[in-house]
Amino acid sequence: MAGGRLDDRITVQRKVPGNTPGGNTVVGWADLELTAGTPLTLWADMNEDPGAEALVAGRNEATRRATVRLRVSPAAREITAADRIVARGAVWKIRSAPAQATERADLLVLLCEEWVRPPN
């Protein structure tokens, strides 16, 4: 299998609605679960690119990008571009829908990005 070693653990999270004590609707994040109490955690090959900068709301912010490859499975096919992953102690936004990485269709690839906010 081409694609490197699958030696990084990633946990997939999905947006979930909730309510504040005052009754307002808020959106939070929770681990995507295969079955109740079992978070979707997968082995992956994560390759980070050098950092970059982006202008967000008039401020420069640093970003890090990564390509994440993981073995195709029914669980991996549940991942969407609206989800995010937790890996290497950071939260990564998924920037593209999972795509087939090889002709044999044994790997999926995710393009992810982490925003690194400067101290105030």
Check if the beta carbon of residue 95 is closer than 8 Å to that of residue 81.
yes
- Write the CB contacts of 107 (distance below 8 Å, at least 6 apart in sequence): 1, 2, 3, 69, 70, 71, 72, 100, 101
pLDDT tens figures, 12-50: 999 999 888 888 988 899 999 988 889 999 999 999 987
Domains with residue ranges and CATH for the chain: 8-116 (2.40.10.270)
pLDDT tens figures, 61-102: 778 899 999 999 888 988 999 999 999 999 999 998 888 876
Q: For residue 57, give the 3-state DSSP assignment.
A: coil
Read off the amino acid at residue 68: V
Burial of 112 (0-12, 13-18, 19+ CB in 10 A): buried
